[in-house]
Amino acid sequence: MAPPILSLALPSETGRVLSIQSHTVQGYVGNKSAVFPLQLLGYDVDPVNSVQFSNHTGYPTFKGQVLNGQQLWELMEGLKANDLLYYTHLLTGYIGSVSFLNTVLEVVKKLRSINPKLTYVCDPVLGDEGKLYVPPELVEVYREKVVPVASMLTPNQFEAEQLTGFRIVSEHDGREACNKLHAAGPAKVVITSINIDGHLLLIGSHEKEKGQSPDQFKILIPKIPAYFTGTGDLMTALLLGWSNVISLFLSNFESVIFLFHVVFYCVSFFLFMQSRNTQMILQRQQSSQYQACRYVSW
């Protein structure tokens, strides 16, 4: 007789997270940026890779597979068949098609039918710096269907503008955009990066009771003149992890500090390796020159 199957799909003080995001073999974006930090914070995380690519799409080429909506639903049915579909949190990031996003909405309904208190943290990955990363038709689906069911929304400046139809050029505009997003659905909104006067401004807003004025705050972040991938995915994961146990402001503060240390380490390591490689090249050049001189003298 086979031993009974022990299910770990039970409520816990920390939580169980279903994370639907991209995955790359090399590099850290999507689930590669989100899963491990959440595990370190004590969460049980089940990743679903919306895509699996060799590397992120910023490289000249990439190869891999894309999960479609039917395949996503099959995974959910497999979890349901084994009583493994209880989650406290749903986290979504990059999604590349309308059909897949519509299936994600069905997943939200299914998870909330099992746990009505499910927290849905949505990073509406649409684009940045005036450029869309996804098909334009996804914007309307996010605006009309996803935003109303999200518990927390973490857009950047460009994404917040796309979702609200409101131009953000100041701190006041950022706060107003948060109000517009609250009116559409989510109780918590964090606009993670607004470019103002050479700095990045984070604006957070928490509407504790529907219709009441939200608690709002800002965090001014020094801007590093470099491009990093996966930082937004990490930021949203940290916000999920910490906002479950402390206030939205403190969770943002902790997340920004953590993220700053990660970026600072990356920059420091890059400069160290660059310096080390330069020294190695100089040593090789000096060595070859020395060998050449010695050979001639011989």
Written as six digits, the tokens of 71 are 């395949």
- Residue for token pair 């972040």: 221
- Give Cα separations from 86 to 92, 114, 209, 252 (angstroms): 16, 6, 26, 27
d(CA 289, CA 294): 8
- CB-CB contact of 231 with 239 (8 Å): no
Identity (one letter) of the amino acid at 177?
A: A
Active-site residue identified among 83, 123, 197, 233:
233
Strand partners, 20: 48, 92
- Beta-strand pair 16-24/44-53: parallel
d(CA 110, CA 90): 11
The SS3 call for residue 237 is helix
- CB-CB contact of 15 with 244 (8 Å): yes
User: What are residue 287's phi and psi, to 5 degrees?
Assistant: -65, -45
Catalytic-residue membership of 233: yes
Active centre residues (catalytic): 233
